[in-house]
Chains A and B, each alone.
Chain A
């Protein structure tokens, strides 16, 4: 490894983790701002211009709050649980390519921290680890509302993971790869692939399924039954305070950012913009412009997550299970068959 490669690697680690943590912090602010805008209020606007420093103020407040461990709580798991939510969510960032690959000394380097062929599977595996934090946190709190929240969350994640994986399978069939960089950009021919969402109807259906499952996997409205405050006080994090509570939040928002990244890469062509950026010769300029496009798409999905939360009412528990098992699962199974038809009969005539 040459010095420039090591610098590049360190730069990538700092930049990408920085981006995700900053986006997670800013989306807590955006959450309040957008909700205020939807409900005709002002939202936080006292700390810094337009309240932009509010996340920092919140963070400081969290650090200075007292940590309460309830009586009869299971101390070990109670303390571990917040970290078990935040760690996998942040780890998943390491395999996400934020832009086109760049050339260093004639060798192509992917714009993800580690470039592995099974990046998609790694993200799925880390996503399935996140449920433990919620489950253990709910159980260790020694509170019936927390326990119910954890239980609901586990059932919900197991059910919707199916739909999530099956819709990703369709994307894998359409693009013929599991490497996330290859999903939007064929490295061998240098060709930009068509966005999956435009591969009607297969890609479009898969996009819809993935979007719904992503809401359920990240425990976001309208599927946030794990913390439904009208029924369960606060769900799995009822007993948490101070930085432990903040870690749960960081985990939730980081998971939201990762899911949005996946949506952008799998369905909206990642950093590509209708082939406009391909003509640029300098790979660094192209990578930077591509990253801009990627972040713009990413932010629009984050906005969608927040927008949905403040406009759609929460699902009831049985409706959630009904939707997951009796509606989404059959559709995704049929969609896989359709994807097979697409790959064999339609794709050759479309040129990929």
Chain B
């Protein structure tokens, strides 16, 4: 077994274990811990595929940003509510359906292109960042998508400020 396969198995184990902890643990904080493992594992997959920029972005945005906000919310809930009392079957069925649909979709999209043992596309080399930058701001590539995403984020930001502000005024 070569190193790459070994690394893949290791990261896959971490990711799957993290996801299972997220679903099945008794405490919500443990779930967040599991989610952190899973997200870090996904970042590991990106590294294995040669997309190190994507990997680091994944960690900065999801693990470093979004998940901290989850934790922040969870810690403000009283401890007796921190235990989960939703039935497991209800809790698991929706993600299971979504996951199955994703699996079928991605299997059809790939159509056996990147099965184990097949060759990966060549790693993009040292100037990956420059490529990413250029493709974001090139009007023939992703400029429209990039700008639309930034508009969406702006709308979300303004909306969040609006909601927070109204509640603050009402309490006075």
A residues apposed to B, CB below 8 Å: 74, 76-77, 116-118, 121-122, 124-125, 127-129, 131-132, 135-136, 139-140, 147, 150-151, 154-155, 157-158, 161, 178
Knowing A116-B52, A118-B56, A128-B65 are in contact, say whether A77-B72 is a contact too (CB < 8 A).
no
- Report B-chain residues with C-beta under 8 Å of the C-beta of A158: 65, 68-69
Query: B36 and A147: CB pair below 8 A?
Result: no
Query: B64 and A129: CB pair below 8 A?
Result: yes
Query: B56 and A121: CB pair below 8 A?
Result: yes
Knowing A122-B56, A151-B75 are in contact, say whether A128-B63 is a contact too (CB < 8 A).
yes
Knowing A139-B75, A150-B75, A158-B65 are in contact, say whether A117-B33 is a contact too (CB < 8 A).
no
B98 to A: closest C-beta gap in Å: 27
| A337-B128 Cα distance, complex, nearest whole Å | 25
B78 to A: closest C-beta gap in Å: 11
Knowing A128-B60, A129-B63 are in contact, say whether A117-B36 is a contact too (CB < 8 A).
no
Mostly, the B contact residues are helix
Residue B115 at the chain A interface, CB threshold 8 Å: no
B residues apposed to A, CB below 8 Å: 27, 29-30, 33, 36, 52-53, 56-57, 59-60, 63-65, 68-69, 71-72, 75-76, 126-129
Of chain A, the residue at the smallest CB distance from B130 is A117
B126 to A: closest C-beta gap in Å: 6
- Report A-chain residues with C-beta under 8 Å of the C-beta of B75: 135, 139, 147, 150-151
Knowing A77-B33, A154-B68 are in contact, say whether A128-B59 is a contact too (CB < 8 A).
yes
| A158-B70 Cα distance, complex, nearest whole Å | 12
- Report B-chain residues with C-beta under 8 Å of the C-beta of A74: 27, 29
Of chain A, the residue at the smallest CB distance from B36 is A132
A21 to B: closest C-beta gap in Å: 24
Query: B56 and A178: CB pair below 8 A?
Result: no
From A117, A125, A140, give the contact of B129 (CB < 8 A). Answer: A117
A146 to B: closest C-beta gap in Å: 11
| A155-B65 Cα distance, complex, nearest whole Å | 11
Query: B57 and A121: CB pair below 8 A?
Result: yes
Query: B68 and A118: CB pair below 8 A?
Result: no
Q: What 4 pairs between A and B have smallest CB-CB spacing?
A: A128-B64, A125-B59, A121-B56, A125-B56
- Report B-chain residues with C-beta under 8 Å of the C-beta of A118: 52-53, 56, 128-129
* Between-chain CB contacts (< 8 Å), 27 pairs: A74-B27, A76-B30, A77-B30, A117-B129, A118-B128, A118-B129, A121-B57, A124-B56, A125-B56, A125-B59, A128-B59, A128-B64, A128-B68, A129-B59, A129-B63, A129-B64, A131-B64, A131-B68, A135-B75, A136-B29, A139-B71, A139-B75, A150-B75, A151-B76, A154-B71, A155-B72, A158-B65
| A178-B128 Cα distance, complex, nearest whole Å | 11
B52 to A: closest C-beta gap in Å: 6
| A348-B127 Cα distance, complex, nearest whole Å | 23
B145 to A: closest C-beta gap in Å: 21
From B29, B59, B68, B127, give the contact of A117 (CB < 8 A). Answer: B127
- Report B-chain residues with C-beta under 8 Å of the C-beta of A139: 29, 71, 75
Query: A135 and B129: CB pair below 8 A?
Result: no
| A136-B59 Cα distance, complex, nearest whole Å | 18
- Report B-chain residues with C-beta under 8 Å of the C-beta of A77: 29-30, 33
A230 to B: closest C-beta gap in Å: 22
| A136-B29 Cα distance, complex, nearest whole Å | 8
- Report A-chain residues with C-beta under 8 Å of the C-beta of B127: 117
| A155-B72 Cα distance, complex, nearest whole Å | 8
From B33, B60, B64, B69, give the contact of A136 (CB < 8 A). Answer: B33
- Report B-chain residues with C-beta under 8 Å of the C-beta of A128: 59-60, 63-65, 68
Query: A121 and B53: CB pair below 8 A?
Result: yes
Query: A178 and B129: CB pair below 8 A?
Result: yes
| A334-B1 Cα distance, complex, nearest whole Å | 53
B93 to A: closest C-beta gap in Å: 28
Query: B29 and A154: CB pair below 8 A?
Result: no
B48 to A: closest C-beta gap in Å: 15
- Report B-chain residues with C-beta under 8 Å of the C-beta of A121: 53, 56-57, 60
Query: A117 and B126: CB pair below 8 A?
Result: yes
| A77-B30 Cα distance, complex, nearest whole Å | 8
A330 to B: closest C-beta gap in Å: 14
- Report B-chain residues with C-beta under 8 Å of the C-beta of A157: 68
From B27, B60, B128, give the contact of A125 (CB < 8 A). Answer: B60
From B52, B60, B72, give the contact of A151 (CB < 8 A). Answer: B72
- Report B-chain residues with C-beta under 8 Å of the C-beta of A147: 75
| A122-B60 Cα distance, complex, nearest whole Å | 9
Of chain B, the residue at the smallest CB distance from A162 is B65
Most buried by A among B68, B72, B127, B129: B68
Query: B76 and A117: CB pair below 8 A?
Result: no
